[in-house]
Structure 1
Amino acid sequence: MTKTKKETSISRRGILPILGGGLLLPLLGFGRSTIPETTFIAEEGAEEYQTLLKPDGTAVKVRVSALKNAKIIEKNISNKSFLNWLGRKL
């Protein structure tokens, strides 16, 4: 029994279904976590915080109650105005 070249070599047509199947694997969702997401219930005395950006680029945590009571100077700003606020020149 001699093996012919067709039986031992892999052609392009043989590789394409393997590649196509490999590209479809992420869409099947095998990587989903089985652990449900936990939600933390805030205690009555606990404050909720939100992370905001300062003009110098650092992030700070601010109480949500302080944000609700804050005075809004300008709600929607342009990119140019935002970059000026950050101190960057165009």
Structure 2
Amino acid sequence: MLHVKTRFLLTVGVAKLAGITKTHVSLNWLVAQGNVVPIPGAKSPEQAEEFKGALGWRLTDEEVTELRSLASKIKSVIGFPVEKL
């Protein structure tokens, strides 16, 4: 199993390569699953703007596959198995 910090660092790496934030990558990856609708709870206008940055673009198929592969190596925390994504 990959340590959560390792996954975080790899997500940051994808974000840096694309010139976007890790929040954008994370939300966009969730949308790319096809069966997940993320509902981020913005607590400020700034957070709403940050979340909005995940829209209007897509991760490449390779990036989605890489992040999905990384996610599959992390033990589910809440009991939702990654392979169901």
TM-score bin (small chain):
under 0.3
TM-score w.r.t. the length of structure 1 is: 0.21
TM-score w.r.t. the length of structure 2 is: 0.22
Which structure is richer in relative contact order (CA contacts within 8 A, separation 6 or more)?
2
Higher helix share: 2
